[in-house]
């Protein structure tokens, strides 16, 4: 049985569709300088796809890891514009799947999310499954049903929990709005998600899975989330583009 104390928090920087190549390289170099070797936290950067190779090169040999923001569910073939998970091997270690911007802006269904999860696992990469909470679910008291569906469909066909698996709970209404969830609210959702993982993969898996909170996390509020027992880090959007803010969030996680 893995003790909850053994969970090392992980902070992800989701750059989304931001930063020109030179700015991306500068940020990678700065973050390596400030965060390499920081103990007590995993640091994961999700640059835009064209800069993944640069990220790999700049961060090689450091403790920082590279993730892709998305991938297709076929490994190769005639799928113009898509990137297969197998093509990321050697460049990225993680792949973000099911971010609410993919679900909402690009119409990604829970079935597609499941397809992607299986393809990422098949390629030997570590998935970070993002599950959202639309305001409509929240207002109608359907949050838990919605999270259950996203998790169940996302994990369909995956019979044991992927090594290093991370779930990111991101309420849609908190993303990019400056209006973060309260730590207590986020804790309740993350605890619920941990219970779903335990239900599906057993208690040890429930204790081992790392669950991030995402949505307007910044240097000022980060520690209040990390103080919660079921929140194991953060998935950070806007503040991850600012080296000082992102480093402060990573340090807060390391200190938690």
Contact flags string 1-40 toward ligand 13P, x per CB under 6 A: -------------x--------------------------
State the Cα–Cα distance between residues 216 and 73, nearest whole angstrom.
Answer: 29
Q: How is residue 216 annotated by DSSP?
A: S
170 is catalytic: yes
Contact flags string 40-79 toward ligand 13P, x per CB under 6 A: ----------------------------------------
Q: Is 171 in the site for ligand 13P (CB under 6 A)?
A: no
Residue 194 CB-density burial (10 A; 0-12 exposed, 13-18 middle, 19+ buried) = buried
Active-site position among 56, 99, 101, 108: 99
Q: What angle do CA 19, 25, 30 make, to 5 degrees?
A: 105
Contact flags string 202-231 toward ligand 13P, x per CB under 6 A: ------------xxxx--------------
Among 170, 190, 206, 213, binds ligand 13P (CB under 6 A): 170
Smallest separation, CB 188 to ligand 13P (Å):
19
Q: How is residue 165 annotated by DSSP?
A: -
Beta carbon nearer to ligand 13P, 88 or 180: 180
Beta bridge partners of 218: none
Smallest separation, CB 204 to ligand 13P (Å):
27
94 is catalytic: no
Smallest separation, CB 217 to ligand 13P (Å):
5
Q: Which residues of 201-211 are buried (b: 16+ CB within 10 A; e: fewer)?
A: beeebbbbbbb
Among 123, 175, 193, 250, binds ligand 13P (CB under 6 A): 175
Beta carbon nearer to ligand 13P, 197 or 217: 217
Name residues whose C-beta falls within 8 Å of residue 50's C-beta, 6 or more positions apart in sequence. Answer: 21
Active site residues: 99, 170
Q: Which residues lie near ligand 13P (CB under 6 A)?
A: 14, 99, 170, 175-176, 214-217, 235-239
């Amino acid at each position: 049985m893995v003790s909850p104390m053994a969970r090392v928090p992980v902070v992800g920087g989701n750059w989304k569709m931001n930063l020109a190549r030179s700015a991306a390289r500068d940020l990678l170099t700065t973050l390596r300088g400030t965060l390499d070797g920081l103990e007590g936290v995993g640091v994961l950067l999700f640059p835009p796809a064209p800069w993944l190779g640069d990220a790999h090169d700049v961060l090689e040999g450091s403790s920082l890891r590279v993730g892709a923001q998305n991938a297709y569910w076929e490994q190769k073939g005639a799928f113009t514009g898509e990137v297969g998970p197998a093509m990321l091997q050697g460049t990225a270690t993680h792949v973000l799947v099911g971010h609410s911007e993919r679900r909402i802006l690009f119409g990604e269904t829970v079935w597609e999310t499941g397809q992607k999860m299986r393809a990422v696992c098949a390629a030997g990469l570590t998935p970070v499954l993002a599950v959202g909470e639309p305001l409509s679910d929240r207002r109608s008291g359907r949050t838990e049903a919605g999270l259950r569906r996203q998790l169940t469909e996302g994990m369909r066909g995956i019979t044991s929990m992927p090594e290093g698996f991370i779930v990111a709970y991101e309420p849609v209404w908190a993303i990019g709005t400056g209006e973060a969830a309260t730590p207590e609210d986020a804790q309740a959702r993350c605890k619920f998600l941990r219970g779903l993982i335990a239900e599906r993969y057993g208690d040890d898996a429930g204790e081992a899975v790392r669950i991030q909170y995402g949505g307007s996390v910044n240097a000022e509020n980060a520690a209040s989330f990390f103080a919660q027992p079921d929140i194991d880090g953060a998935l950070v959007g806007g503040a991850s583009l600012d080296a000082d803010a992102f480093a402060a969030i990573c340090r807060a996680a390391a200190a938690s």
